[in-house]
Chains A and B, each alone.
Chain A
Amino acid sequence: MRLGFSLPSLSKFSPIFSHYNPVQPISSSSPTSLKPQTPLFLRPPTHSTTLSHLQKWQNWAKTLASSVTSTDNGPDTTLLLRELNWLIEDALENPKSILPQLGNEDMVVTLRAELKDLYVLWKQRIEERRPFQYVVGCEHWRDLVLSVEEGVLIPRPETELVVDLVSDVVEGNEELRDGLWADLGTGSGALAIGIGRVLGTCGRVVATDLSPVAVEVASYNVQRYNLQDKIEIKLGSWFEPLKNFEGELAGLVSNPPYIPSEHISGLQAEVAKHEPRLALDGGANGMDDLLHLCCGTASLLKPGGFFAFETNGEKQCKFLVDYMKNELKGGFCDVDIVLDFAGKERFVTGFRSKTNYQ
């Protein structure tokens, strides 16, 4: 992205800009701390400024947003201006109270971050291409607001559909609804929480992730939705933390890394520069983890158990289906490809065969 960049009121704030570390979130306790960040909208409103100072910041931020031209499929000005409104929504204690007071420049506004931090955050968004979700520390996903931070994949809208797929299969199937489910590579815990909320009272979810940061953030999100008795987050690679559950799972879902390694550097900067490669890079053809998951799934699911995997698209879907048909003959049945919102072949779903024919 090229930045034609103008900073009307920057001089005042230059001391901050010369010191900040673009990737470190504001008010972070220490870079190595695993304590999850509190999303901006949940921070205490302990800062204040005047309406005129806030408006000055907003005008500066708008100018900055209007100056971008993206060359890598990044955000355009329209989206950035929308994000700016969301940032204001999250940063102000009571955004709606301001509207009737717009003429009153001396009005005191209560903020969840210092005004100077808002300058830093927006500059990170535009200049560093730091994802908006990391800037505010949350993503709105389905009807959830999930905490996210650097080191954790931002859950994608496409993945929301997996929860509906699960919801569909558990309806009218008590064994699945009240069974044990697994979400492998859970990241922010989005799928685990979404599924935890569609299962029956006895249904449980165990979610794994190799990244300690992801485990912390997912646990935080689970607690925020008061699901700690239903969802357990375990640290470890794919099936490793599930060794004791062979043949016991009612269902298994995963959104594993599936982007071919060589494509990573060409992705929009928000993704390539800021999101964890661990959660994106699926090896030479993007299939490394998906194939690994397929193989382990047959032994973990109980007969009749359901699985759903997200993939990179048509090619991977077809490859997986062929693989299951030929290499894992008899392990699965009713294998299906499911489209995402945009009509792309995105998910592979199916069931563990009731009898093992191998």
Chain B
Amino acid sequence: MMSQSLLKSFLIKFRRSSGATVDVLSYASSKCYDFGIHSRSSLVYPRRNHGVGSSQRIKVGFSNNPPFLYNNYTTSGSATTAAAGGGRELLAMTDQQLMTQCDMDTFKSSGPGGQHRNKRESAVRIKHLPTGIVAQAAEDRSQHKNRAAALARLRNLLALKVRNTVDLDAYSPPQELLLILPVKSTIRGSSCGPQIGPNNPKFALGKQALLDLIFAVEGSVSDAARKLGLSTGALSRLILSDDSLRMAVNELRTSKGMKPLK
């Protein structure tokens, strides 16, 4: 009887049969390291084997496909409406929370790896599973730093591509949008502090809110400017100050048959 339970305790959680549902280990997440230099004990990661938090059951076909390609949502077009929680919630997440929704891989998939190789391959690719958005970074020699860079890029892409619905009739710009507006905006208020520029990490949130509005008014800069207490010229300048913002707005305007901003 003892040996019975012993055998059970030896149960190998990992099964290789093709297409088996592996109680993985939250495999992808266990590769996501801390982005701070110090103790990671306070960080929230889904844990291997514990089945807590957002650990996922991943359908794994092991032949040649590593499980990181799994995607359980579909994306269409350039703008996505987040299935659960809006884009705003996504950007408000901490890095650790956001990473629990992501798969990460390192481009390495061929060959035996491990001691066999010296490739100093530090490139990192992060895929946000709910939206299918992928960001990558390869320029740094430390995988660690590339992870941080890829995550920053992912945030930027989420800001650009995940839209929140806006009620135009009752529109009131959210605080994060007010922060990136020029001081001369008539609705900004003096309590807002100085204008935040594209290099500030909080710019992404404001950019997202601005794009939400511009999508809601179907690309009309003058309509959006009115809602923000700005002249059309001032809002144009703000849009042109950030390359990715300009490109997102112009992509929308082109699709609506409008002239791109220059």
| A and B interact | yes
Evaluate contact between B14 and A345: CB separation under 8 angstroms.
yes
Which parts of B6-32 form the interface with A (CB within 8 Å)?
6, 9-10, 12-14, 16, 24-25, 27, 30-31
Which parts of A128-172 form the interface with B (CB within 8 Å)?
131-133, 139-140, 142-143, 145, 153-154, 156-161, 164-165, 167-168, 171
Evaluate contact between A312 and B112: CB separation under 8 angstroms.
yes
Q: Which of A43-51, A93-101, A294-302, A335-343 contacts B (4 or more CB under 8 A)?
A: A335-343
Q: Which of B81-89, B117-125, B156-164, B245-253 contacts A (4 or more CB under 8 A)?
A: B117-125
Known: A339-B27, A341-B108. A330 touches B143 (CB 8 A): no
Whether A271 sits at the interface, judged by CB under 8 Å, is yes
Question: Which residues of chain B are near A305, meaning CB under 8 Å?
Answer: none
Known: A333-B9, A337-B14. A143 touches B142 (CB 8 A): yes
Q: Which of B33-41, B175-183, B235-243 contacts A (4 or more CB under 8 A)?
A: B33-41
- Once the chains are docked, how many angstroms separate the CA of A208 from the CA of B47? 29
Question: When the two chains form the complex, which single residue of A132, A329, A332, A338 contacts B48, counting CB atoms closer than 8 Å?
Answer: A338
Whether B53 sits at the interface, judged by CB under 8 Å, is no
Whether B256 sits at the interface, judged by CB under 8 Å, is no
- Once the chains are docked, how many angstroms separate the CA of A202 from the CA of B49? 26
Question: When the two chains form the complex, which single residue of B16, B113, B118, B143 contacts A160, counting CB atoms closer than 8 Å?
Answer: B143
Evaluate contact between B141 and A268: CB separation under 8 angstroms.
no
Question: Which residues of chain B are near A311, meaning CB under 8 Å?
Answer: 114
Residue of B with least CB distance to A194: B33
A-B interface pairs (CB < 8 A), number: 144
Which parts of B198-242 form the interface with A (CB within 8 Å)?
none
Contact with A along B101-130 (1 / 0, CB 8 A): 000011011011111111111100000000
Evaluate contact between B121 and A157: CB separation under 8 angstroms.
yes
Contact with A along B34-68 (1 / 0, CB 8 A): 10010111000001110000000000001001111
Evaluate contact between A271 and B116: CB separation under 8 angstroms.
yes
Question: Which residues of chain A are near B118, meaning CB under 8 Å?
Answer: 131-133, 154, 268, 270-271, 275
Whether A321 sits at the interface, judged by CB under 8 Å, is yes
Which parts of B87-107 form the interface with A (CB within 8 Å)?
105-106
Residue of A with least CB distance to B9: A333
- Once the chains are docked, how many angstroms separate the CA of A136 from the CA of B15? 42
Question: Which residues of chain A are near B25, meaning CB under 8 Å?
Answer: 338-339
- Once the chains are docked, how many angstroms separate the CA of A353 from the CA of B42? 29
Whether A220 sits at the interface, judged by CB under 8 Å, is no
A14 CB to nearest chain B CB (Å):
29
Evaluate contact between A158 and B113: CB separation under 8 angstroms.
yes
Question: When the two chains form the complex, which single residue of A79, A257, A263, A339 contacts B120, counting CB atoms closer than 8 Å?
Answer: A79
How many residues in B have their beta carbons less than 8 Å from beta carbons of A?
Answer: 47
Whether A288 sits at the interface, judged by CB under 8 Å, is no
Whether A313 sits at the interface, judged by CB under 8 Å, is yes
Whether A53 sits at the interface, judged by CB under 8 Å, is no
Chain A CB within 10 Å — which of B12, B24, B67, B106 has the most? B12
Whether A86 sits at the interface, judged by CB under 8 Å, is yes
Evaluate contact between A157 and B30: CB separation under 8 angstroms.
no
Evaluate contact between B114 and A310: CB separation under 8 angstroms.
yes
Evaluate contact between A336 and B14: CB separation under 8 angstroms.
yes
- Once the chains are docked, how many angstroms separate the CA of A51 from the CA of B38? 38
- Once the chains are docked, how many angstroms separate the CA of A346 from the CA of B117? 14
Question: When the two chains form the complex, which single residue of A139, A171, A275 contacts B47, counting CB atoms closer than 8 Å?
Answer: A171
Whether B170 sits at the interface, judged by CB under 8 Å, is no
Known: A86-B141, A337-B12. A271 touches B117 (CB 8 A): yes
Question: Which residues of chain A are near B144, meaning CB under 8 Å?
Answer: 140, 142-143
Chain A CB within 10 Å — which of B66, B108, B116 has the most? B116
Residue of B with least CB distance to A279: B115
Evaluate contact between A157 and B143: CB separation under 8 angstroms.
yes
Question: When the two chains form the complex, which single residue of B13, B115, B120, B122 contacts A133, counting CB atoms closer than 8 Å?
Answer: B120
B179 CB to nearest chain A CB (Å):
30
Question: When the two chains form the complex, which single residue of B34, B37, B47, B143 contacts A168, counting CB atoms closer than 8 Å?
Answer: B47
Question: Which residues of chain A are near B105, meaning CB under 8 Å?
Answer: 341-342
Residue of B with least CB distance to A73: B111
Evaluate contact between A197 and B39: CB separation under 8 angstroms.
yes
Contact with B along A233-277 (1 / 0, CB 8 A): 000000000000000000000010111000100011011000100
Question: When the two chains form the complex, which single residue of B2, B6, B39, B108 contacts A198, counting CB atoms closer than 8 Å?
Answer: B39
By a beta-carbon cutoff of 8 Å, the part of chain B in contact with chain A is 2, 6, 9-10, 12-14, 16, 24-25, 27, 30-31, 33-34, 37, 39-41, 47-49, 62, 65-68, 105-106, 108-109, 111-122, 141-144
By a beta-carbon cutoff of 8 Å, the part of chain A in contact with chain B is 73, 75, 79, 82-83, 86, 131-133, 139-140, 142-143, 145, 153-154, 156-161, 164-165, 167-168, 171, 197-198, 255, 257-259, 263, 267-268, 270-271, 275, 279-280, 310-314, 321, 325, 329-330, 332-346, 353, 357
Q: Can you name 16 A-B pairs with beta carbons within 8 Å? A: A73-B117, A140-B141, A143-B37, A156-B113, A165-B30, A167-B40, A198-B41, A279-B115, A313-B112, A325-B10, A333-B9, A336-B14, A337-B14, A338-B25, A341-B105, A346-B114
